[in-house]
Amino acid sequence: MKRHSISFILGTVITVVAIIFSAVSLVFTPYDPESMDIYNRFQGPSAEHLLGTDHFGRDILSRIMSGSLVALSSALLSVTIGALLGIVIGLVSALSPKYVSSILQRIIDALMAFPTILIALMLVTIAGKGILPSALAVALAIVPVFSRLVYTMILETKEKLYIKAAVSYGAGRFRIAAFHLFPPMFSRLVTQFTSSIGRAILLESSLSFLGLGIQPPSSSLGMMLSEARSYVLTYPYQAIPAGTTLLLIVLGFNLLGDGLSEVIDGGRRIRHG
Amino acid sequence: MGKYIAKRLLAALAVMAIVSFMTFSVLELIPGNAALIAAGTEGSATSVASIAAELGLNRGFLERVLLYYKDLLSFDLGVSSYFGENVSTLIGQRLGVTFSLAFFSVLLAFIFSVILGSAAALGRGRLIDALSRGVVQIFSSIPSFWLSLLFLILFSSVLHVVNVGDYVPPSVSIRGYLSSIILPVAVLAIGETGPLLRLVRASMIRVRNEDWYRIGKVRGISRMRLIMAYALRYALPGPLTLAGSELAKLLGGTAIVESIFALPGLGRLFLTAVEMRDIPLVEGIVIFVSFLVVLMNLVTDLVLFFSNPTMRKAGGIKL
Amino acid sequence: MAELLSFRSLSAEDERHTILAGLSLHVDKGETVALVGESGCGKTMSIGALFGILPDDVEVTGGSILFDGEDVLLYNGKGRRDKLYRRAGFVPQNTTDSLYPLMPVSKVMTDAYVHNHPEIGRKAAVERAAALLSSLGIEDAKRVLSLYPFQLSGGMKQRVNIASALMDDIELLVADEPTSALDIHIRRQIETLYASLADRDGLSMLIVSHDLGFVRSVADRIYVMYAGRIIEEGLCDEIFSDPVHPYTKSLIALGSMNARDRNLDLPELGYSNSVPDRNSPSCAFLSRCSCRRDSCSCSVEYFRLSETHFVRCVL
């Protein structure tokens, strides 16, 4: 195992802090994130409001805390749905007869051909705005990544000698899948899952930014930035806290995903010669 | 060889059929059918019925699917219910702006990625590799809409160098055109650099471990030539393919940036269509962009196939 | 005779292990020298150090490599190209992936040559390549030149690699395990080919191999390498008819094949065991030796048995 992976350490620290930071909002926020105070609009950072207040005089720190929780939990939901669907499609298409698998692969191709934002907007056209349609849209964007990953990994592993050996001594399909195919895939799936969370948070926040995700008065980071947009030239500070938080959270998960694969691959690297 | 091309073409056609079928049936699910939406809240029962008849909504699903494919085959994307114009005309009007954005941003990202990625993978310095990995991580973590806001704040309100909101077509003034797209192009390019740079670096690291790369040096080929004539040719097909499909995808992925920088492109047209629940327009744009993605992938695959003798012999990439 | 190539107490290590522990050997002009030893003893690494193609994590930590009197380790880029690469050729162990796959053989063979000799045109270079291939026993050289590397058979790739190494008028040819991974009948052809190259005027050879039968047929002198250093050297006859070091003896007794593969009377040596051995002055072979004594764990000198025969053993 590689002793030091900066990505891994940094990613772990940021994600853990982000998770704690947003989880705390369940029991405590400095102010009610939805309570307005029209007389104290557009405040800069101060002792009372650590990160200032927004256009309704709401406490930005409190809103960021609860907004992060929305971002994290909806990303987790989307990635879980997307990963499960993707893994199932990948498994089925890798293990079933050729014509089934080529049909499934074409469907995945089709899914990949849609730009993500278009899928999301299309879903919103059907199902209306809200957190569920947007989570579903994000999940759909995640599906192809996982199904491709599982599909190629299985095809690669299928050719490995130890699988052929297992088949030759009569191990059943299920046994091979459970004991021989899946374990080596697990670490790569975990890695993919982690970095997909970063991607899902980005997508969800873009949808919120367009006003298609979670609806007011709840807050999400994307929506906060969408509100800040109206005041971007008069009160530019409004765009800073939520944006920075968003960047850091996404960065944290991306670094963690990268670091995980580094740590895992580093452990696997074999010297020869 | 012909067999591969035929197979590849068939696959692309199949994907397009699936794409269009998915789009069509998903939009069928819309609560309150297209005629009701088109007629608006004040529409009378008769006007709804006549619009429904006009749109062919009174026929069965299968019949409509067939009609829809017949229209598609004759490149007829229908009429926008909001604008009252042909969908294809509307797309044509807006495509130029979006294409400019997509093309220049992917081009910039590609050049930047190839230079930095090769230097990171083939160079001896650890620093440049760390730098490129940092760039990948940060660039793929920045939300494009936030970056747009930051750019607006910096260049428009602090430095006063760029005016936002007046798109100038290149036919009027090249300078005006470039300055009206430079910020959104920069934002999009940064977003595209993440995946491209990552792939270039990975491909180049693979090259570095190839026997022919190490032996080439021993044969007396200069390092520069080894990189320019050997390594790039070997490693770039992958990143080029990615750039191609990203380019096509970006045609449908510029909505946010276009709306922030007030550019009259395809993305904003799409946002309007969604807002107005203009089904034919939504459908038309989705089909148009995803077909382009499929075609682009087809083209890059074929180029890849013809440029690689090993692959030509082996019968192409496995589908 | 004048020295062409000389390793002077070369050391190399990676993050965890010592790989070369003061390797010294030399190749005289016109001479064919073989370097033998089991897998993992550092044979390939020593060639890697010479040509600057060591794996990323391996570093030369001391010593020098003189080629025609100049330390090639001091040169980089163009300097190294002129001093070494254009005067010494290399045939790697794996000849399958060593030819650039996207160019026809004609271009693969001539590219470096054409660029290093701007006065010679591409056409003349291709003719030279064809002549070289014919001299290596390829009958339809023109056709081979028009093929892509993946269309060549194993023996053909081997020859194309040798021919590529010979494109410049080189003084030294280094071959890494030239006979491993070849079919038995191709192996015979390649062995004959190397034997004829050994007789070429003005060409010295350094052949790394664990195939003792082959080594015996081509080499003038032999170095036996163990755990990163030379433990015995001598003329071909001296080594084969009068081996002194127990390791050399068992290698020859094992009938040429890789000792570790056969694993007959040599007990398996764990990699971790060999690590301290490479740096200590005592005998590295100690733990596997059947005739060890107390004095083996003291500093073991390199004894001179004759003008040409040396051994690192107390016997």
Nearest-Cα residue of chain B relative to residue C81:
B220
Over residues A87-95, mean pLDDT: 87
CB-CB: which of B15, B142, B267 is closest to A113? Answer: B15
Q: What is the pLDDT of residue C277?
A: 53
Classified as helix, coil or strand, A252 is: helix
Of the candidates B165, B158, B193, the residue with the CA atom closest to the CA atom of residue B179: B165
How long is chain B?
Answer: 319
Distance from CA of C121 to the nearest CA of B (A): 16
B residues 13-72 lying closer than 8 A (beta carbon) to A: 14-15, 18-19, 22-23, 26-27, 29-31
Question: Neighbouring chains of C at 3+ CB pairs within 8 Å?
Answer: A, B
Of the candidates A144, A142, A154, A164, the residue with the CA atom closest to the CA atom of residue A188: A154
- Residues facing residue A222 across a β-bridge: none
Over residues A30-35, mean pLDDT: 76
The yes-or-no verdict on residue B54 having pLDDT over 80 is no
When the pLDDT of each residue in chain A is averaged and rounded to a whole number, the result is 81
Q: ipTM of this model? A: 0.85
Nearest-Cα residue of chain C relative to residue B305:
C102
C residues 145-174 lying closer than 8 A (beta carbon) to B: 148, 150-151, 164-165, 167-168
Which residues in chain B are closer than 8 Å to A113, comparing Cβ atoms?
15, 19, 290-291, 293-294, 297
What DSSP assignment string belongs to A123-140?
HHHHH-SSHHHHHHHHHH
Question: Domains of chain C (ranges plus CATH)?
Answer: 3-99+152-233 (3.40.50.300)
| Interface contact A229-B293, CB threshold 8 A | no
CA of B290: how far to CAs of A115, B250, B277, B287, C290, in Å? 7, 10, 20, 5, 74
Q: What is the pLDDT of residue C276?
A: 43
Q: What is the pLDDT of residue A271?
A: 38
Over residues C265-279, mean pLDDT: 46
Where along chain A do its domains lie? 3-14+50-268
Over residues B48-65, mean pLDDT: 66
Statement: the pTM of the whole predicted model exceeds 0.90? no
C12 at the A interface (CB within 8 A)?
no
Greater confidence (A221 vs A250) lies with A250
Nearest-Cα residue of chain A relative to residue C176:
A273
Q: What is the pLDDT of residue B112?
A: 96
C105-139 pLDDT, tens digit per residue, is: 999 999 988 888 888 888 999 999 999 899 888 88
Angle between helices A60-95 and A221-229 (to 10 degrees): 120
B162 at the A interface (CB within 8 A)?
no
When the pLDDT of each residue in chain B is averaged and rounded to a whole number, the result is 83
The yes-or-no verdict on residue B37 having pLDDT over 60 is no
Domain range A3-14+50-268, its CATH number among 1.10.10.60, 1.10.3720.10, 3.40.50.1700, 1.20.120.1460: 1.10.3720.10
Over residues C175-184, mean pLDDT: 80
Q: What is the pLDDT of residue A2?
A: 45
SS3 readout for A171-203 = CCHHHHHHHHHHHHHHHHHHHHHHHHHHHHHHH
B222-267 pLDDT, tens digit per residue, is: 888 999 999 999 998 889 989 998 998 898 889 889 988 889 999 9
Greater confidence (B150 vs B29) lies with B150
When the pLDDT of each residue in chain C is averaged and rounded to a whole number, the result is 83
Classified as helix, coil or strand, B291 is: helix
B87 at the A interface (CB within 8 A)?
no
Among A63-72, B41-50, B71-80, B240-249, whose mean pLDDT is lowest? B41-50
C81-108 pLDDT, tens digit per residue, is: 888 888 999 998 877 788 998 889 999 9
C76 at the B interface (CB within 8 A)?
no
| Interface contact A210-B251, CB threshold 8 A | no
| Interface contact B26-A102, CB threshold 8 A | no
Q: What is the pLDDT of residue C274?
A: 44
B262-313 pLDDT, tens digit per residue, is: 899 999 999 888 888 888 888 889 889 989 889 988 988 888 888 777 766 6
Q: What is the pLDDT of residue B84?
A: 83
